[in-house]
Amino acid sequence: MATRIIISGTIDLPPENTLKAIETARPLIEGALTEKGCLDYDWCPNPLVPGRIRILERWESEEALAAHFKTQWYLKMREHIGAFGLIAAETLKYRVDAQEPVYDETMTPRADFFSESD
């Protein structure tokens, strides 16, 4: 199985532009979601920081993410956000080596990876 990639980040815009930027980005977000290997592509306003958009993406592989960076959806999104007065952005990518539920069979939250064998 390919190594999954998670992208997590923030984009800061003037607060009065945040919701409009997200609403008008919908066709670009929907387009990205049709790409092979795109598992999630979410943009949400941060309720505690005016003007901040939280980004969360999940990709099946590095290859899928690399292909995304060449698509119209990605290229147009960069232009789109710039048009709303980009103040700052920080976006990081993470390779995922393991995944499992947060809650075990008793609905107890677990920080450890409890189903891995030793």
pLDDT in 10s for each residue of the chain, 118 residues: 689 999 999 999 999 999 999 999 999 999 999 999 999 999 999 999 999 999 999 999 999 999 999 999 999 999 999 999 999 999 999 999 888 899 999 999 999 888 865 4
Total domains present in the chain: 1
Alpha helices in 9-100 (DSSP H): 18-24, 26-33, 62-68, 72-82
Does residue 111 form part of some domain? no
Domain of residue 18, CATH code: 3.30.70.100
Does residue 113 form part of some domain? no
> How far apart are alpha carbons 22 and 18 in whole angstroms?
6
Does residue 56 form part of some domain? yes
Query: What pLDDT is recorded for position 117?
Result: 56
> How far apart are alpha carbons 43 and 45 in whole angstroms?
7
Query: What pLDDT is recorded for position 82?
Result: 94
> How far apart are alpha carbons 95 and 101 in whole angstroms?
17
Does residue 115 form part of some domain? no
Please report, as a single letter, which amino acid is at residue 118.
Answer: D
- Structure pTM? 0.87
> How far apart are alpha carbons 46 and 26 in whole angstroms?
17
Any idea what the Cα angle at residue 93 is, between residues 91 and 99, rounded to 5°?
A: 135
**HEC sequence for 98-113:** CCCCCECCCCCECCCC
Does residue 104 form part of some domain? no
Does residue 100 form part of some domain? no
Range of the domain at 59: 4-95
